[in-house]
Structure 1
Amino acid sequence: MPIFPIERSITVKGLSVRRKQIPVCPAFCLTDYKVQGSTLSAAILDLKNDAARRGQDSHRQYCSLYVQISRLRSFRGLHLLQMVTTDDLYFSPDPDLLVEMERLRDLQARTLAAWGLLI
């Protein structure tokens, strides 16, 4: 994004003063790993599946997307930097993670049943 200097002239106590400046807005950003554990009321996210992230596998992109979106209190605070399509959001967790999650669900059900707590 090109930034062009702005030149203005004003008169102060009869003297002409010329000022040349570059318009800059202070800002900062956070990575998806930096915001883990945080809760944000608003965020500007870039969820577009760009070439820089294509080196990541589907599981890493899935986790990154989950972390970014789940930090917000509500979707009212979600502001997208670029328009996204469903192709930009189509990632999946590692198959081994899904197998482990199913194993843990089964273990939970068997534990609750063994203790007579199954509802």
Structure 2
Amino acid sequence: MTATELKSAAILNLLKAFLETNEGLQIRKKVNLVYQFNIALKKIGFDEVIFTIDLKTGQVTKGAYEGGKPDAVFSLKDEDFIKLATGKMNPQIAFMRRALKIKGSLSAAQKFTPDIFPKPSKM
């Protein structure tokens, strides 16, 4: 599977540009954590594409985090990532329903909210 098959890839590219804006810089200062996303096309744990969202540097990259351990690692399906990023799914509810798996710091994971993503009107 390639990243181009993921609908999430388009949102992550928009996020990369958004993190360079003034609003994006404010979010980076506020959160200042590194997240790794393991995004699966159909089933968590299979054929995952890994992305790193580094809110310390503002970088969004394909591949595992190379600067040590990320603060939190999220595993979820492509369609659920889109729902989270667009605010249509609450991260806590997704976690309770097992649509979202988290490794690492739960307090860091709780700081990852849909507010991190640019609003659709700005896209």
Say which one has the larger Rg: 1
What's the TM-score, normalizing by structure 2?
Answer: 0.24
Q: Which has the higher strand share?
A: 2
